[in-house]
Amino acid sequence: MIAKRLVLMVGLLLGLVIPAEAADRFITVASTTSTENSGLFPYLLPIFTRETGIEVRVVAQGTGQAIETARRGDADVLFVHHKPSEEKFVAAGDGVARFDVMYNDFVLVGPTADPAGIGHTRDAAAALAKIAAARAPFLSRGDDSGTHLAELALWKAAGIDVKAASGGWYREAGSGMGATLNTGREMQAYVLTDRATWASFKSKGDLVVLVEGDPALFNQYGVILVSPTKHPTVKAADGQAFIDWLLSGKGQAAIAGYRIDGLQLFFPNARPTG
């Protein structure tokens, strides 16, 4: 606040007109809990701000909620991980264009006792079928997030109707990834999580990764500028500057450089836009 007043006072002394946004230049990004909980944004965004002077304020939600936030025009950029929903957002005219940014994968974690015997398999749908057959506790995010939607697609591939099982062995947390993992640890339940949040999660207890490596667990992230035509308040120039930076060599290198205990958590895969 003091700095802003000094800027304005200097401007007045010099006879300059300083736009309000010059003293407080920021964009709002509607994104997922995984990009925040994994530590990626706390690492990545200060780099962008140092290079551009644009602050990024993140609204971290499940993908479904983030899309609704952007659809209302309450964000300038949408950065989530459920490609069908992202393409629908653009097709409806709510976004300008969608770009691949990076990917990682999902993993299926559970107690070391592994009551459903799913360990040492790469077939995620088959593992879920075993969990259902054993009626072993499974905790879903249940929040329309990208992780939740990916999980539902896997249950469909397994031929399991989880709606019918809801409230029994299948439970829904209705919360973000970190909170769901906390509850899953207490319940000794199986949980589907993105690998980045799992690597950042400090209270694993006896939860371990049991299923990984299935191509069906691929997790793509995309970025979209919210339509300034539908929402004139969208900061289109600064929002596009953020997108261009993410897709640039510098942005992609910054994403690749984020690691925890030497483990790379996100893999840049933007296509050249020129």
pTM value is 0.85
% of the chain residues with pLDDT over 70: 91
The C-alpha atoms of residue 22 and residue 121 are separated, in whole angstroms, by 55
State yes or no: pLDDT of 176 exceeds 60.
yes
Q: What would the pLDDT profile of 30-86 be if each residue is shown by its tens digit?
A: 999 889 888 999 999 999 999 999 999 999 998 999 999 999 999 999 999 999 999
DSSP-assigned states of every residue in 226-251: EPTTT-TTS-HHHHHHHHHHHHSHHH
22 pLDDT more than 80: no
**CATH number where 87 lies:** 3.40.190.10
Query: Are 193 and 260 in the same domain?
Result: no
**Model confidence band, residue 223 (pLDDT cutoffs 50, 70, 90):** very high
Model confidence at 273, pLDDT cuts 50, 70, 90, reads low
Beta strands in the chain (DSSP E): 26-32, 55-61, 77-80, 95-111, 138-140, 170-172, 191-194, 207-211, 218-226, 259-260, 263-264, 267-268
Q: Residue 149: pLDDT above 70?
A: yes
Closest CA relative to residue 85, chosen from 30, 139, 38, 138 = 30
Is the pLDDT confidence value at 160 over 90? Answer: yes
Domain that holds residue 46: 2-104+220-268
Structure-block tokens of residue 106: 């999902």
pLDDT confidence tier of residue 231, bands split at 50, 70 and 90: very high
Task: Give a yes or no: residue 190 inside a domain.
Answer: yes
Quote the DSSP letter at residue 115: T
- Say whether pLDDT at 224 is over 50: yes
Residues 173 and 119 in one domain: yes
Rounded to an integer, the average pLDDT of 247-266 is: 95
Domains: count for the chain: 2
Q: Is residue 243 part of a domain?
A: yes
Same domain, 170 and 235: no
How high does pLDDT run on average in the chain? Answer: 90
Q: List pLDDT tens digits, range 185-214.
A: 999 999 999 999 999 888 999 999 999 999
Asked if residue 198 is part of any domain, the answer here is: yes
In a domain, 274, yes or no: no
pLDDT at 172: 96
Q: Is residue 194 part of a domain?
A: yes
Question: Is the pLDDT at 133 greater than 90, yes or no?
Answer: yes
